[in-house]
Amino acid sequence: MAIKFQYNKTSLHALDKQLKMRERALPTIKSKESALRMEVKRTKDEVAALEDRLEKEIRTYDFMMALWNEFRPELISVKDVKLSSRKIAGVLVPVLDEIEFETARYSLFNMPSWFADGIELLKTLATTGIEVEFTNLKLSMLERARRKTTQKLNLFEKVQIPGYKDAIRKIKRFMEDEESLSKSSQKIMRNNQEKRNAKKEEEVEA
């Protein structure tokens, strides 16, 4: 990104202000990027653990596979998923608080005795499945925030801060050269004036 500037003190002060603002913000951005990177890793591990748990739970209930043909899935449904939110490194993420299930009425006398256990098993599987989906959603949000923070960090650290420093260096060099040139011009003018004065004095004496 090319830094636009002019070779004068106003531009120099403006660039210096922008540079200091970015240099002050840099440690905070680095800290946020590091915190988000750690949180992304932790959430990935959490997703992997939940997916592993869901697979194990499904395998545990394989012995009931033949019985599921008799089961009525409409007996149980998800009534509500309660959420809250919290901030992680300045990023607002949802928190899964509670899953409410609704169980339809059924006759304990007309249905197989294992239906009650079947309903509880489905609640367990559904809860873990929702937790997997929810944690994947949180992971996606954290990864997006981490990418944006990394992009901002790279922009400041590798583009803008070096760019402002280079522009400030160029302006200072130009102003120093201009000052040196001005001093040299003034010295030459002084010398010429002194020579003219000396010549006039000689002509007067003659």
| pLDDT tens figures, 131-157 | 999 999 999 999 999 999 999 999 999
Q: Assign 103 to helix, strand or coil.
A: strand
pLDDT for residue 54 is more than 60: yes
* Paired tokens of 87: 């901030």
What confidence category does residue 195 fall into, taking pLDDT thresholds of 50, 70 and 90? low
Q: What is the model's pLDDT at position 141?
A: 92
Q: What is the model's pLDDT at position 121?
A: 82
CB of 132 within 8 A of CB of 50? yes
What confidence category does residue 199 fall into, taking pLDDT thresholds of 50, 70 and 90? low
Of 116-120, 170-174, 186-190, the range with the lowest mean pLDDT is 186-190
* Paired tokens of 100: 């409410």
The residue with greater pLDDT, 125 or 60, is 125
CB of 115 within 8 A of CB of 75? yes
Q: What is the model's pLDDT at position 17?
A: 94
Which phi and psi (to 5°) does residue 166 adopt? -65, -45
* Paired tokens of 74: 């409409």
Cα angle 89-93-95, degrees, rounded to a multiple of 5: 125
CB of 164 within 8 A of CB of 25? no
Could you tell me what percent of the chain has a pLDDT over 70? 78
Across 70-81, average pLDDT: 77
Q: Which helix (H) or strand (E) holds 80?
A: strand 76-88
Model's pTM, two decimal places?
0.73
